[in-house]
Amino acid sequence: MSFLTINNLSLAFGEVNVLKELSLSIEEGELVTLLGPSGCGKSTLLRSIAGLVDPDNGSIVIDDKEVISMNPKDREVGMVFQSYALFPNLTVEDNIAFGLRMKKLNKTEIEKKVKSMIDLVGLNGKERSYPRELSGGQQQRAALARALVVEPKVLLLDEPLSALDAQIRARLQNQIRDIQQKLGITMVFVTHDQEEAMAISDRIFLMNNGEIAQSGSPVEIYTRPNSEFVARFMGHYNVLHADELQQIVGFDAGFQGSLFGIRPEAFTETNIHGDGIEVTGEVQKVSLLGNVVRYQLKTGTQHFSAEHLHRSQEYTKSGDVKTLYLSKEDVIPLT
Amino acid sequence: MKENMRTHKIIVTITFLYLFIPLLATFLYSLSTTWNKTILPEGLTLKWFVDLYNDPRFIDALWRTIQLTGGTMIVSILIMVPAIFAITVYAPKYEKWLQTIVLFPYAMPGVVAAVGLLSIYSKSGIPMVIVLAGSYFVLILPFMYQGVRNSLRTVNAKTLVEAAELLGASRSTAFWKVIVPNITPGIMVSSLLSFSVLFGEFVLANILVGGSFETIQIYLYRRLRESGHLSSAIVVSYFLLLLVLSWIMVRFSRRGTLKLKKKEPIV
């Protein structure tokens, strides 16, 4: 039995169907990501779970309890907002204690819980600071502590790291994942960043136009996209029609289907397993993207891209004719 | 660049003089014995201020004005703050109605409003002071609405309420514990602004209650004909009071913006 089950959830704002009979289920202690481009309905889905928007139809069951008609405060879910939403008039300590005070816990217990939360998120020394005196990363950790301290059944995170710069973001991703594993809490994380989703999730629900386009582990979604949308969203996939693919791999490859995706790093310079398809192309452009080098190649009239890790000596330059190898199973049929 | 700065300084100085000289002259006039044929007053005296502050009618008028405006303010805060909060956070689609309503005071000239109110309410048995307070309530709607709504937007009230509700707070707890403390500076600024507007209001007060409930403006108008020195003393006192109010207002609003502008420390 799943811990959080959503069934046929629909919601329309005026003429726009934001959620279309959406169903999903999440296990206890899982960290799942709702991933998708802006406007795909991922935040609305999250806010429906929290009770901040009222869906038109469908059901939401958390821990065997139907919560669809409950007030947000009775659902036992926590939420971390993109804008942190810390209470500006309260110190870090009082912000974290807010939920416990609402539950009317006694003073010593509140103090103990707040203290252990501050230790957990690493805000020692900032107990008496006001939110405005903290950096963005610290504010988000305080917001995380405030949501966790009341021990919600599910913690919802609405693009919690989007307002932070890359380094702090990476550090907080790890911290959130660590805390989630340590407490064994169920988390639903909303993001539009596929790298962030792959880095922290047990499972990803990739959404598009109010529906789930594909769900699965990060590896499944990345290596086995089932549609053009997923392939394009998850990486720099080469998306090719059957005739375009034929130009690149030759006429005898025998692939079934009309549309295919090939990850750029699936092209290798050596024939590793011995069964690779030989692909020859003229290098149009070489670009260095940090730790990855990307080539634009051309076979006949067809362009495609290939990538490999950066190395200290780069031999390939524009105008070279290069032979690469491609495994058959890396040519993925798409719908 | 330097040329430019000089031009700016000259413009600012001229503007400042233009605004300040009448005030200075009024101030001097209120302190002078006589000032008819000379450039500067012939003698200085505090007689007019002593006269003024010893006139029980002045103190009474001041007290009445404070009661009237203060009472109206309190009622306005108690009604408008929750109303604006409820509409911006829970029912934003009705906000356009509120926006229209708060513009009513601008749609009607004071004299027209006063005459209309007088003909409707004079026979109704409702004391005209209450009618006056009611019309003051309407008069300050724009100030209250703008100030309160802006503070609610600045603190991102909707998200704060959502956060509080998810932490187990009821809507009213969320309002009192989270929203009110954070918009207090904004409420103070709107209130002081409204207070100074009402303090200087003459048209409605004169037509609706006139001599039966003499406010400070009606008193000033009456004494104007008696002695220029005395009315100057009233104007100076009035100005000083508003100066203090404005200073408090600036303090409050600066406290609000400092919070936002403060530089973020490094992690």
Positive or negative: CA dihedral A225, A229, A232, A237: positive
Burial pattern B245-257, b for ≥16 Cβ within 10 A else e, equals beeebeebbeebe
Q: Which of A20, A89, A27 is nearest to A63 (CA)?
A: A27
- Interface touch A79/B162, C-beta < 8 Å: yes
CB neighbour list of residue A283: distance below 8 Å, 6 or more residues apart: A295, A296, A297, A316, A317, A318, A319, A320, A321, A322
pLDDT score for A80: 95
Indicate whether B265 belongs to any domain: no
- Element (H or E) spanning A19, and its range? strand A16-26
Side chain identity at B133, as an amino acid letter? A
Contact B216, B32 (CB under 8 A): no
| Same-domain pairing of B33 and B69 | no
| Same-domain pairing of B174 and B220 | yes
Indicate whether B266 belongs to any domain: no
| Same-domain pairing of B99 and B17 | no
**Ramachandran class of A29: left when φ > 0, alpha when ψ lies in -120 to 50, beta otherwise:** left
Residue to mutate among A84, A102, A117, with most B CBs inside 10 A, is A102
| Same-domain pairing of B23 and B69 | no
Contact A97, A115 (CB under 8 A): no
Closest Cα in chain B, distance from residue A72 (Å): 5
- How remote is the C-alpha of A274 from its chain's centroid? 35
Whether residue B144 has pLDDT greater than 70: yes
pLDDT score for A252: 62
Closest Cα in chain A, distance from residue B51 (Å): 48
User: What is the C-alpha radius of gyration for chain B, rounded to an integer number of angstroms?
Assistant: 23
**DSSP secondary structure code for residue B177 in this structure:** I
Show the domain range for B9: 1-45
Indicate whether B245 belongs to any domain: yes
- Interface touch A98/B164, C-beta < 8 Å: yes
Whether residue B181 has pLDDT greater than 70: yes
| Same-domain pairing of B38 and B84 | no
- Interface touch A85/B265, C-beta < 8 Å: no
Q: Domain count for chain B, please give it.
A: 2
Indicate whether B264 belongs to any domain: no
Residue B263 pLDDT class (50, 70, 90 cuts): very low
Helix axes B228-261, B2-31, angle to 10 degrees: 140
Quick one: tokens of B19?
């605004």
| Set of chain A residues whose Cβ sits within 8 Å of the Cβ of B170 | 73
Q: Specify the 3-state DSSP secondary structure of A24.
A: strand
Helix axes B141-154, B228-261, angle to 10 degrees: 20
- How remote is the C-alpha of B98 from its chain's centroid? 21
The shortest CB-CB distance from A88 to any of B155, B162, B164 is to B155
- Interface touch B167/A146, C-beta < 8 Å: yes
Closest Cα in chain B, distance from residue A50 (Å): 8
CA angle B143–B149–B151, rounded 5-degree value: 100
pLDDT over 70 for what percent of chain A? 99
Residue B265 pLDDT class (50, 70, 90 cuts): very low
In chain A, which ranges are continuous DSSP H helix? 42-50, 92-102, 107-121, 136-148, 166-183, 194-200, 218-223, 228-234, 242-249
Whether residue B266 has pLDDT greater than 70: no
- Interface touch B168/A85, C-beta < 8 Å: no
The arithmetic mean of pLDDT across residues B168-172, rounded, is 92
Closest Cα in chain B, distance from residue A246 (Å): 53
pTM of the model: 0.82
Indicate whether B228 belongs to any domain: yes
Q: Where in chain A is the domain with CATH 3.40.50.300?
A: 4-232
Chain A, chain B: beta-carbon pairs less than 8 Å apart: 74
Contact B166, A77 (CB under 8 A): yes
Indicate whether B260 belongs to any domain: no
For the stretch B204-261, pLDDT in tens is 888 888 878 888 888 888 887 777 888 888 888 888 888 888 888 778 776 654 444 4
Whether residue B30 has pLDDT greater than 50: yes
| Same-domain pairing of B19 and B139 | no
CB neighbour list of residue A16: distance below 8 Å, 6 or more residues apart: none
Q: Where in chain A is the domain with CATH 2.40.50.140?
A: 244-333
How far apart, in whole angstroms, are the C-alpha atoms of residue B251 and residue A83? 27
Closest Cα in chain A, distance from residue B180 (Å): 10
The shortest CB-CB distance from B169 to any of A73, A78, A86 is to A73
The shortest CB-CB distance from A79 to any of B156, B166, B170 is to B166
Mean pLDDT value across chain A = 92
For the stretch A39-88, pLDDT in tens is 899 999 999 999 999 999 999 999 999 999 999 999 999 999 999 999 99
Q: Scanning every residue of chain A, which has its alpha carbon at the shortest distance from the alpha carbon of B183?
A: A89
For the stretch A89-136, pLDDT in tens is 999 999 999 999 999 999 999 999 999 999 999 999 999 999 999 999
CB neighbour list of residue B257: distance below 8 Å, 6 or more residues apart: none
- Interface touch B159/A85, C-beta < 8 Å: yes
Quick one: CATH architecture of A4-232?
3-Layer(aba) Sandwich (3.40)
For the stretch A246-300, pLDDT in tens is 888 876 667 788 899 999 999 988 888 777 888 889 999 998 888 899 999 998 8
Residue B218 burial class via C-beta count within 10 angstroms: exposed 0-12, middle 13-18, buried 19 and up: buried
Helix, strand, coil: what percent of chain B each, to 5? 80, 0, 20
Residue A54 burial class via C-beta count within 10 angstroms: exposed 0-12, middle 13-18, buried 19 and up: exposed
CATH assignment of A244-333, given 2.60.40.10, 3.40.30.10, 3.40.50.10190, 2.40.50.140?
2.40.50.140
Phi, psi at A152, each rounded to 5°: -70, 160
Closest Cα in chain B, distance from residue A160 (Å): 14
For the stretch A190-221, pLDDT in tens is 999 999 999 999 999 999 999 999 999 999 99
Contact B31, B44 (CB under 8 A): yes
| Same-domain pairing of B91 and B161 | yes
| Set of chain B residues whose Cβ sits within 8 Å of the Cβ of A86 | 163
| Same-domain pairing of B79 and B8 | no
| Set of chain B residues whose Cβ sits within 8 Å of the Cβ of A89 | 178, 181-182
Contact B230, B48 (CB under 8 A): yes
